[in-house]
Structure 1
């Protein structure tokens, strides 16, 4: 389960995003389409964010900067 911390305000950690991706991968396993591995939409939009955070070396992001799809995928992983 993903834990939210209140000490850092309204931020989402890279660990929380990774956990949400893993939850979506368990719920909707990846599929192959013509030799290409395809993630479900929820995992895909969070994976884009995760990759950007790794590239920019961010440990967390403000919840306000997330897209609607990213917020839905993140909160949906908590359900």
Structure 2
């Protein structure tokens, strides 16, 4: 499954809204943090999309959980 950059950004924003940064250091939730690394690398490398399988397991889980909110089951 190909994930466009804007979808990864939307997933990060979803998790940031659902679990806002905590403490004075503004630590991201585990889900947002897992997605932020590939997002930053994609921007740095001028990539417009990434394969789901290229993401680390925690990022895959966070993204799939985000995408499931659009499915019927």
Shift of 1:27: 0.7
How many residue pairs are counted as aligned between the two chains? 68
Deviation string 1:34-69 (CA, Å, 9 cap, x unpaired) is x31100000001011110101111000112211111
1:50 counterpart residue number? 39
> 1:1-79 alignment to 2 at 5 Å?
10-32=1-23, 35-78=24-67, 79=69
Q: Distance in 2 between matches of 1:65 and 1:47?
A: 14
Deviation at 1:76, TM superposition (A): 1.1
| Higher fraction of helix | 2
Q: What residue ranges of structure 2 are gaps of 5+ in the alignment?
A: none
TM-score (norm 1): 0.80
Question: After TM superposition, where is structure 1 displaced by more than 4 Å over at least 4 residues in a row?
Answer: none
Larger strand fraction of residues: 1
Q: Which protein has the larger Cα radius of gyration, Structure 1 or Structure 2?
A: 1
Quote the RMSD (CA, aligned, Å). Answer: 1.0
